[in-house]
Amino acid sequence: VAFVSGQFAQALAAQGLLETISPDLIPNLKNLYPEATKLPYDIGNKYSVPYSWGTTGICYRKDLTGFDPTSWNDILNPVAKLKGKVTTLATERWLMLPAQKLLGYSANTTSETEMAKVKETLIAAKKNLLAYDDTTFYTRLVSGEAAMVVAWDGWCNYGITDNKNIKFVIPKEGSDLWTDTMVILKTSKNKEAAHAFINYVLDAKVQSWVIENILYKVPNKAAMDLAAAALGATYPNMLMTPADLLKGEGLVDLGAAGPMYTKIATEITASK
């Protein structure tokens, strides 16, 4: 069993590298929210099973910002005192996301014209950033080196663990709905055991333990019913419902436009 993001599961399936999921071997599929069977990268969970899901927003300390951010513009064009105190994510899709949403574009756009404007916006914003950071942004927030960071919801929770002043908000322009999935490779030597492992992970008690340890939401209703309420007092984004998450745009594979994103990401991060 491999764990991959939904858009990568879609790409692997398109290349014929994934085994079709056999629902009869995974009875705990019944624990999933109905919405988890309708995600755009794999409608019907034909070749993947969702493991966790969430969204991307702004993780911040109001004691440092002096206000509650509401827009991606607060990140890309920060007020004077916050210049050099902001980080954004480095991974291609999430590097692009703030500008895509601020400009009113899809997070899955393949338009060269739109992506040229995204590139222009992000190069202009670079001078205001502390860093592109996928892994230590929440520790920078805890220490006070950063005041606002673009963050995945669960990673923001790691910061909240260490500093209760940290909050998470989804900007008014909207965001994404990402999903991490479990897939079975065609080359798997024991596909029945692979299905059994997925079924084990989807057990309500097992995945409630996962929730408590990774502090991410999962599309498993039975598990969320066991764990989310107790966590919500400390980590408010754990109380987001499927309906809340589905306000975000589901990420899908970019197909032939993938290399364009890679090229633009390189040009942005290498720009002076």
Residue 220 belongs to a domain with what CATH number?
Answer: 3.40.190.10
Residue 29 lies in a domain: yes
Listing DSSP states for 144-173 in one string gives TS-SEEEEEHHHHHHHHHH-TTEEEE--TT
Give mean pLDDT, residues 80-104. 98
Give mean pLDDT, residues 44-58. 98
Give mean pLDDT, residues 238-264. 97
What is the tens place of the pLDDT at every residue in 110-167?
999 999 999 999 999 999 999 999 999 999 999 999 999 999 999 999 999 999 999 9
Residue 68 lies in a domain: yes
Which residue has tokens 């601020």? 102
Give mean pLDDT, residues 185-212. 98
The chain-wide mean pLDDT, for the chain, equals 97
- 215 and 154 in a single domain? The answer is no
Range of the domain at 208: 2-54+177-250
Residue 120 lies in a domain: yes
- 64 and 124 in a single domain? The answer is yes
In the prediction, which pLDDT does 272 show? 85
Q: What is the pTM of this model?
A: 0.95
Residue 238 lies in a domain: yes
Residue 259 lies in a domain: no
Residue 85 lies in a domain: yes
Residue 23 lies in a domain: yes
